[in-house]
Chain A
Amino acid sequence: MLKVRGVETGYGRLKILRGVDLDVPEGSAVALLGGNGTGKSTLLKAISGLLRVWSGEIEFDGKPIHNRKPNEIVKAGLVQVTQGKDSYPGLTVEENLKLGAHSRNDRDKIKADLEQIYEFFPILRERRKQMAGLLSGGQIQMLVIGRGMMAAPKMIMLDEPSAALAPLVVLDIFRQINKIRAELGTTILVVEQNVRMALLLAEYGYVIHDGRIHIEGKASDMIHDENVRNAYLGGTVVETANA
């Protein structure tokens, strides 16, 4: 469903990504792992159109999407779920959710989807009139996931859903992501530092290091792989194309 081929990009003259290849087949969940400053978020920005791609190609649903406007990419059905800190703290919970459906015009379906999100996350219904800035960390994460789902996406890209959350809350969030996946069949690319959680959710994993994919393989194999741990912790990485 999503194909990334040889993507290079960066900020100003600073090159961050040095040729990234990545595949997310339809219906699957794929994890992109890496420590701070390895290019995870940069890749997400390139895919969602916030950052110009210098060279290489990105294809979604059979059509090239690199260097298209972010709102067109959302319209095509590829939605990035931002980090919790990127909610709109000054808007209410419900306004945040409605913003997620901005690209759609099917009013009745939007209403039904809003109900569905409230079924998934009952706490959001309880607090729907409150400012999003008043939610706890876990609730904000639920809000941004719900907001992403409001676009009725074919595929979502989750940007570190475990960031700055307590372990029990992380467990709960991933359980919800799994539930959404089971019920709606949404394709998922999850970007994480929490290697274990991400690999339990995904079938396939990539480790990005210094702007390149260093390790890729089945999630069930990777979870026991020493190299993955080393790469994540910033230790020496043995160059391997397979695992």
Chain B
Amino acid sequence: MLVDFLVVGVSIGLVYAIVALGISLIYSGLDIVHFAHGEFVMFGAFFGLVLVNDSGLNYPISIFLAMIFAGLMGVVVERVFYRRLTSKGGGYTVAGMGMIICGFGMAIILQNIAFLIWGAEGHAINVDFGTPMKIGTVNLPKSYLWILCVSVGLMAILHLFLKNTKAGLAIRAVAANKDIAYLMGINVPLMISLIFGLACGLAAVGGVLIGPINYVQVEMGYLILIKGFAAAVVGGFGSLPGAILGGLMVGIFETLGAGYISGSHKDIYAFLLLIAVLVIMPTGLFGQLAKSKA
């Protein structure tokens, strides 16, 4: 039992971690908290649904294409709608407050667009994963294995990209200080688009990954956003390793809670963890009290 729960918890946790990574990337890169991020998970899941169920593409290619589509969609949304607000100053300013409202509004707009296209009922992404793997006494459905491999692989690629490439270094510079990044000759607006597109692409992967397990539905974004949010806060807002650890903790905690205490209250446990962590460590596990922004 425990091993089963842990496998499920880690897998779900990795999906939360991917969403939280995007939220943290956007927070450190654009100084905004993006409340429409869950809708990009939802759109990603629908892209995956269309690609797998209707177009008959195989699963990995669908994940990749959904990531690209959602990434491009994110770039457009950021350029057309958010840029007007963020260019007037984000973060803790009054303009930052406007950005939060704008995020909620965008979430509602995206939900309704999805409703018009795909309707209200839920669908599952039909992927034939084959028979569950048997390890000892544990029956491990391969869908969880997919989540494990794809998300860990993606995190490794993201790490290498940020650490070892010129664009990755530029992204870190933009996240730390935009004016100085500009003086380095970095095209800051372009990098901001890249950061946002990357984060939305990650969200879409999360959506396609849970698509075969949970139902893909227009309102799925909200709960995932809140869980990803909890994960980001538990790990320390803006910290990428923190987002991963936070996601895993939320996933495991909620699965164990659902398994041993009460399954019908599954969604409460993430927030109990959130409150507990914030009481003990108000900045989250990897958070800094004041971000080192020169």
Q: Name A residues whose Cβ lies closer than 8 Å to a Cβ of B.
A: 48-50, 69-71, 74-75, 79-80, 82, 85-91, 95, 98-100, 102-103, 133, 147, 151
Contact = CB atoms under 8 A, between A and B. Distances in A.
Nearest to A150: B184
A24 to B, nearest CB: 18
Contacts of A87: 294
B199 interface: no
Interface stretch (B56-64, B139-147, B171-179, B276-284): B171-179
Contact of B185 (A74, A82, A89): A74
Contacts of B185: 70-71, 74-75, 79, 102-103, 151
B241 to A, nearest CB: 14
B186 interface: yes
Contacts of B187: 69, 71
B88 interface: no
**DSSP majority for the B interface?**
helix
B101 interface: no
B172 A91 contact: yes
A98 B163 CA distance: 12
Contacts of B177: 86, 88
B176 to A, nearest CB: 5
A87 B172 CA distance: 13
B183 A91 contact: no
Contacts of B195: none
A49 B173 contact: no
Given A91-B172, A91-B173, A99-B169, A49 B294 contact: no
Contacts of B184: 74, 99-100, 102-103, 147, 151
Interface string B193-226: 0000000000000000000000000000000000
B294 A85 contact: yes
Interface of B: 166, 169-170, 172-173, 176-177, 179-188, 292, 294
Nearest to A148: B183
B188 A71 contact: yes
Contacts of B188: 70-71
A79 B184 CA distance: 8
Contact of A82 (B166, B170, B172, B180): B180
A15 B173 CA distance: 30
Nearest to B288: A90
A68 to B, nearest CB: 12
Contacts of A48: 183
Contacts of B183: 48, 50, 70, 74, 79-80, 82
A89 B177 CA distance: 11
A95 B169 contact: yes
A50 B186 contact: no
Contacts of A88: 172-173, 176-177, 180, 294
The 10 closest A-B pairs by CB, nearest first: A103-B185, A74-B185, A70-B182, A99-B184, A71-B185, A102-B185, A71-B187, A102-B184, A86-B180, A80-B183
Contacts of A71: 182, 185-188
B173 A99 contact: yes
A102 B166 contact: yes
Contact of B294 (A80, A89, A98, A100): A89
B30 to A, nearest CB: 18
Nearest to B188: A71
Given A50-B183, A91-B173, A99-B181, 18 more contacts: A50-B179, A70-B183, A71-B182, A82-B183, A88-B172, A89-B292, A89-B294, A91-B169, A91-B172, A98-B166, A99-B169, A99-B173, A99-B184, A100-B184, A102-B169, A102-B184, A103-B184, A133-B292
Contacts of A80: 183
A98 B182 contact: no
Nearest to B190: A71
A122 B294 CA distance: 26
A221 B260 CA distance: 85
A210 B172 CA distance: 37
Contacts of B179: 50
Contacts of B180: 82, 86, 88
A79 to B, nearest CB: 7
Nearest to B166: A102
A69 B189 CA distance: 10
Contacts of B166: 98, 102
A136 B64 CA distance: 46
A110 to B, nearest CB: 10
Contacts of B172: 88, 90-91, 95
Nearest to B173: A99
A197 B108 CA distance: 61
Contacts of B294: 85-89
Contacts of A75: 185
19 contacts: A69-B182, A69-B187, A70-B182, A70-B183, A74-B183, A80-B183, A86-B177, A86-B294, A88-B173, A88-B176, A88-B180, A90-B172, A91-B169, A95-B169, A99-B170, A99-B173, A99-B186, A102-B186, A133-B292
